[in-house]
Structure 1
Amino acid sequence: MNSDSEEDFEATYEAGDEDEDGDVGVETAADNVVVHPSISQPMNVPPFMRELDLDAMHAPEFPEYSNIGIADPEDGEFQIGMEYSSRKSVVAAIRSYTIARGVDYDMYEYEPQTFYAKCKMYGRGCDWLIRASLIRKKDHSKLDSDTIAEAIRPLVETDPSIKVKSIIAEVQSRFNYTISYRKAWLAKQKSIAKVFGDWEESFQALPWWLSVMVQKMTGSVVQIETRPLYNGNEEAQRVKILHRVFWSFNPCVRAFRHCKPLVQVNETHLYGKYKGTLLVAVAQDGNQNIVSIAFALVEGEAADAWHFFLRNLRMHVVRKDGVGMILDRHESIRAAVNRSGGDWQPPRAWWMFCIRHIGSNFLRAFKVPHLQKLVVNIGYSRTMEEYNINYKRLEERGEAYARWCDAIGLRHWYWHSTRDIDGAI
């Protein structure tokens, strides 16, 4: 038998309507066959027994995979179009087939999703050769986002930030169907809501959660700013909109008293249903462990938002004087520092720029990646001699580069090892 055919097979599905997830569904064309009871059945057989379809009772649960591990049941040969659940099942069927006939074969990889098995005597009296290919089935109308959400729940519980493409791969592996990006994304949102609650419930519970935290963890700090809600020109009663919130846990407040007199602030954008920015302040203990000391949810990197964060940070957490504050060169932070009334300026505090941010700013300004490392080395110079050597090298490559560094101000270059701190924010 020669099963090596290049014939392409048409899909046995026809397009249906769009399902609730916005994907085109599929349905198989099949007739319903009813086997009626024979009139020669004995009269003492209960009526419900006369309607039993004994053939259907003994049919495999998944008929499309009923031939796994065997060749054609009638003549023991492979047939074009036979389907198996996995590559392992195909190999097992080929192995059983060749062992039963006392022959041997070689396996060839044609491409990642196709392989050949060929008789070792091929071309010398035998023409047996078989090809197996992976068939990726497109979406199924019954494989909706609710079903997928339940299937991926363990993954979401372990990693709520799991990527959508990973969900698509998981569904492909489990169900052998390729779903759309939209359906996978929707399933992820539903699964997150089932595990952690939905967005609205979470925001409604936030004030209550923070209140309980302060009660149960005495010494913790929470500061909330709200805005009124208007219905037209009228202010809604007993309803407020969350604007900003600052918090610090009591263990964080106490821990900072034993840390280096050094604070670094940074931000990260939120990409959930409700946008905004998370502001974080971290410190470092004597063993170079990173300690998060304060947090805030604000509307963005505006000067008012940073002022809200830095004011509360100074009032409730960083109360000692003579501290250093590491920040990036964002104008909104500098504006907030200037508005601090001296709280974050000498002699109470000295502020400096993060070397990593300086390197990024330099690359953005000049587009010369090969000099970015030299700028970073200037920042990490531990002696004036080392600084002058690195600075001279940069100046030799272009006076504009050196003038750009001069504009920052030497006293604002922070050369302490901040790699661990940067990575923690």
Structure 2
Amino acid sequence: MEYSSRKSVVAAIKSYTISRGVDYNVYEPEPLTFYVKCKTYGNGCNWLIRTSLIRKKGCWEIWRYNGRHTCTIGTISQDHSKLDSETVAEAIRPLVESDSSIKVKFKIAEVQSRFNYTISYQKAWLTKQKSIAKVFGGWKDSYQALPWWHSIVTQKMPDQLKYKGTPLVAVAQDGNQNIVPIAFVLLEGETTDAWHFFLRNLRRHVVKKDGVGMISDRHESIRAVVNRFGSNWQPPRACWMFCIRHIDSNFLRTFKIPHLQKLVVNIGYSRTVEEYNINYKRLEERGEAYARWCDAIGLRHWVLAFDEGHRWGHMTTNLVECINSVLKGA
């Protein structure tokens, strides 16, 4: 028998071995030769096969073959050593081509139907990724193709090109008052998953120092991530604080009383406990509901006198808004 390539002859031998529930060892895995023997060769089974590249013909040829297997290997039951990821990936390729989001359990069923073996969930998942890469290209290839794709889209649809997504940005300031953008990412929106991805990687790869202060708005997705166990954005590793401008607008949205906004801002900017008590008392005299609303925020999150120096005087997220506007413009 003749085969077009080494890959095709190896695949044929694997398929034969898997379908009969036997196994083999490779003796000469050379570039121009493929020589294998039954795993029980010399102990009741003399099956072997030897193939080589015939240069004149430009093909691979089986030139030695010892009959059929005279053994059975009872230890192979659920899976087979030759049923590797490459073999499985080729088997499930048609499924991936028709639906790349097909569930792993259907791939396991397809392999069971084709080979009469049940592979593990992990193997099925890994081979699914390999099949997707074979059909659609890998992540690296796809990323490298983006500039070409972008240029074609802008040529063909210059008036229809729309950019979607939300930029999440982290900005710092150094000792010389320079604004330093340290990380940004474009994600689907301000979801909990998006903020978790951003803040987790920011902590892992950029902000490794303990005792840092983080100022943001009070978005529920950020709150969920910061309060998540192991987030590393809680004391003593970090201190999460709120932008006074956002607290100001939240207060107005809740009570619709513009003339009290300035008093709320003054409470946030209080530099001493005495100053805080004076401003807080003024607000409380105008209505206990306003004071209780402020109490619910938590002093260390928004009042300068209780931040333990983590703010370095910054009360807003204005620095990040500067960088944000630059990114949006680009």
Please report the TM-score for the alignment, with normalisation by the length of structure 1.
0.37
The structure with the greater share of residues assigned to helix is: 2
Point out which structure has higher relative CO (alpha carbons under 8 A, 6+ apart): 2
Please report the TM-score for the alignment, with normalisation by the length of structure 2.
0.47
